[in-house]
Amino acid sequence: MRTSSAGRTSGTEGGLRGRVALVAGGTRGGGRGVAVELGAAGATVYVTGRSTRGGRSPLDRPETIEGTAERVTAAGGLGIPVRVDHAVPAEVRALTERIDAEHGGLDLLVNGVWGGDPSTDWAHPLWEQDLDTGLRMFRNAVETHVVTSRFAVPLLIARGRGLVVEVTDGNTARYRGSFFYDLAKSTVIRLAVAQAAELRPHGIAAVALTPGFLRSEAVLEHFGVTEQTWRTATDPHFAHSESPAYLGRAVVALATDPDVLARSGRALSTGELHREYGFTDADGTRPDFPAYWAEALEGEFGPLGDPL
């Protein structure tokens, strides 16, 4: 497929002009990447999360919803930051009532709330993990998505079209290395399956979507690099990583696909979608971590498995 000089699929620039999106968990990482790329496609994007310039979330990181919204606007869309705790139904209800009042509906919902990395115990099996920490992580990663869809989906139905994207990690049945982490990420895929079944009669698609090795702000800090210098990191796997923009461009490709309903209920990956839609990462490359796994890591760790 032909791509523009900016590396986006031809026809997506401005392809979401007049469309309204909600990116829940858009403060940083993949959520920020999705929000900015939606802006580059012309969308109005409500960017939500708990980190604002007036106060940080428990993650205590510097990224804010205002910072993301400004990037959305600079990219060509309109970014609207709204401080929302998606675990609190009343706050999500107020958010969706505001969107309805201002725009009369919603075209795209991206459920990207996560924040569980610091709580993930990679070293111990279930029976040796702290139960409160694990359950809290699961609730934050799954219940927030349920609450958000409960109040946002009616706005999609009001439009009679649209897309729900559940952001996860991995799109196969392979165990992800930690009990609560695996439970959360695999459950998010099931949320997409269930929503797809219920939304199909309304002409609305729902998919799960995973990035590959994502260069979030925290990952860049872990390797002691920036987005400009990331290639200097010595980890061989990191050389096959992708920027948050790649996930964003995958979402834009899906949101501008008139036949997206044919994909509804599936668990998709950026590595798969770039081959079908032709988008590139911000630097013009086409990372494909599943292909890299099959080539370099399968012998040591086993196959990723077939997509769900």
Report, as residue numbers or ranges, the catalytic residues.
Answer: 181
Q: Which two tokens stand for residue 29?
A: 């990482």
Segment holding 167, helix H or strand E? strand 162-167
- How open is the CA angle 59-61-169, to the nearest 5 degrees? 65
Report the number of secondary-structure helices (H) and strands (E) in the chain. Answer: 11, 7
Q: Which two tokens stand for residue 231?
A: 């290639």
Number of Cβ within a 10 Å radius of residue 240:
20
CA atoms in the 13 A half-sphere facing the CB of 262: 3
Q: Could you give the CA distance from residue 180 to residue 276 in angstroms, rounded to a whole number?
A: 33
**Three-state secondary-structure class, residue 290:** helix
Strands across the sheet containing 108-111: 78-83, 44-49, 20-24, 108-111, 162-167, 204-210, 267-269
